[in-house]
Chains A and B, each alone.
Chain A
Amino acid sequence: MKYFKWRKSTYQLKSRGNVESILTILPQVAIFLISLQIVFLYLNRGTSTYLDQSVIARAAVGISDRQDYEYAPLIGGGNLLIMNKSVSQYSLMEIFHPSKLKLLSIVVDETSIE
């Protein structure tokens, strides 16, 4: 019985300041999660840009089946291949209204050069 009384008193002691601790640590956790998410979004943007560039570079040498790029004629002959995409980026902050990310890749069409 004495033991339980002692335990109760130690628990009471330990619980002091817990609400304050949560209140102070919550913004910290929020900032940490938001920063992780921002870093992730930036990395995602970089990866998507590199992947698009690889697709269009393959198309420039005639080994890609994809057709989601446009041609722009160059002065004096030849073409430029341009892939201009706008993709949605989902994040915890913008679940219902995802932000739009613009991906732009450009390459000289080697198959059009004489």
Chain B
Amino acid sequence: MKQVLSNLKVKILNARSEGSAITEFLIFTLPFFTAILFMAISINEKSMAISEAKNLARQSVRAYVSSPSDQLAQARADQVITLYTNMLSEGERYRREFILRIKCSQSPCLSAGAQVTATIEVNIHSNENKSISSSVTAQATEFVDLWR
């Protein structure tokens, strides 16, 4: 009797295990693939934002230090950011927020040999609401011409 039951148990187990390897593989790997996909997208988005922020910081600090007067310097740096933002597609414009901060080693800023640092903060908003999903910061430094 015991032997019969044991044989029956083995038979049932064998019958149920047919084709289950693929299902198990699927159950285990599907979440991994989905996670890898989201990770790849987010890493790429972040790296693009870093590259964009670095370039914007470099260009805005360049516009700043090449200003003919101290009064126009901030407006020139802001103009770089404004022009760039205006050229973005509508969706991207609302999604990304650029914040520019300028720090100078001397006062007034455009003194010969002064160090000017531009910091760009890119806040990426999630599509659904306006909360910040990630943030990227980049800095660029330039020296004011010694012979200006």
Q: Which residues of A contact B (CB under 8 A)?
A: 16-18, 20-21, 24-25, 28, 31-32, 35, 38-39, 42-43, 45-46, 49-50, 53, 72, 74-78, 80, 82, 84, 102, 104-108, 113-114
Contacts and interface: CB of A to CB of B under 8 A. Distances in A.
Contact of A17 (B18, B34, B41, B67): B18
Contacts of A42: 40-41, 44-45
Interface residues of B, number: 39
Given A42-B41, A49-B48, 12 more contacts: A18-B19, A20-B19, A28-B33, A35-B37, A38-B41, A39-B40, A39-B41, A76-B72, A76-B75, A77-B68, A105-B55, A106-B83
B72 A24 contact: no
Contacts of A25: 22, 25-26
The 6 closest A-B pairs by CB, nearest first: A17-B19, A76-B72, A35-B37, A42-B44, A108-B62, A21-B22
Nearest to B22: A21
Interface on chain B toward A: helix, strand, loop, or mixed SS?
A: helix
Contact of B44 (A18, A43, A53): A43
A105 B80 CA distance: 11
A45 B92 CA distance: 15
B138 to A, nearest CB: 14
Contact of B33 (A35, A77, A80): A35
B59 interface: yes
A97 B87 CA distance: 24
B26 A113 contact: no
Nearest to A72: B83
